[in-house]
Amino acid sequence: MRLYLLIALSILQAEIVAQSVSPQIGSRANGIGYASAALFDTWSIFNNPAASAQLKHVTAAFTYDLRYSLTGANRAAAVLNVPLPIGVCAAGAYRFGDDLYSEQILSAGFANTFGLASLGAQVNYIQYTVSGFGTKGVATINLGGIAELTPHLSVGAYIVNVNQPSLSEHEKLPTRLVAGLAFKPTEKIYVGAEIDKDLDFDPVWKAGMEYTFHKKFVARTGFNLNPNTGFFGFGFKTRKLMIDYAVQYNALLRLSQQASIALQFNK
């Protein structure tokens, strides 16, 4: 029986307390090892909910994450960001799995900038489905913030599952705490580093870099520790279209690929 199915069965039978799959997604963040706590980005609703605060245009995006070594473990997501006079509203839909086991997430969030700080909050409905075992759904709350200390240095942090919803009478989804730095020595270079701590597991250390070597082309790389994972990606962008691609490799999942496309609707 496939590993992820065993994990799924354990969740619905309250044998473990963790969500089985990270909802972090988006090829730009993937290419830099998901060191995205302080990265203002289209995919913020699945990363730091504050990171949509500086988006100036309506943006719609779709991504697909293909994992060759684990049948049925592919992921897909779509997002919509809508700037308003009072801030930015974001919505997202995420799916992992297949007909045997799947996780679905629907998210809605709001973010705004106040001086040097951007703050965001979102609500999520997470549904777990296992063939023959039924469906379990819970609502969660995420909070986040980013502070731009200087034109070159920002700090970001967010909390996942603040409310710790119950999966059963005795088990709850754990809280994740994420904090990171973003350093931009020039307009062409972004360097990010962060620590991602699930309260029930050891922390994951992340670092990555993005380099804009042409006004339309971007290269990215990153790595994680615990588990050790390498990342690489590139992007193409115009005034209205953004296409990003990323690959990652570790000993467990082997090689996986992710591609994203985003359309920006100018005012």
Confidence of residue 21 (pLDDT cuts 50, 70, 90): low
pLDDT score for 53: 95
Confidence of residue 10 (pLDDT cuts 50, 70, 90): very low
Q: How far is CA 108 from the centre of its chain?
A: 14
Q: CA–CA separation, 35 vs 179, rounded Å? A: 9
Burial string for 157-171 (b: 16+ CB within 10 Å, else e) reads: bbbbbeeeeebeeeb
pLDDT at 2 over 50: no
| Assigned token pair, 15 | 């044998």
pLDDT per residue as tens digits for the range 214-224: 889 999 999 99
pLDDT score for 18: 41
pLDDT score for 12: 38
Q: What is the mean pLDDT of residues 38-64?
A: 95
pLDDT per residue as tens digits for the range 69-113: 777 889 999 999 999 999 999 999 999 988 888 999 999 999 999
| Assigned token pair, 22 | 């990270």
Q: How far is CA 264 from the centre of its chain?
A: 20
pLDDT per residue as tens digits for the range 194-204: 999 998 889 99
Domain 3-265 has what CATH class? mainly beta
pLDDT score for 149: 95
Q: Among 124, 154, 57, 135, which residue's Cα sits nearest to residue 97?
A: 135
Delimit the domains of the chain by residue range: 3-265
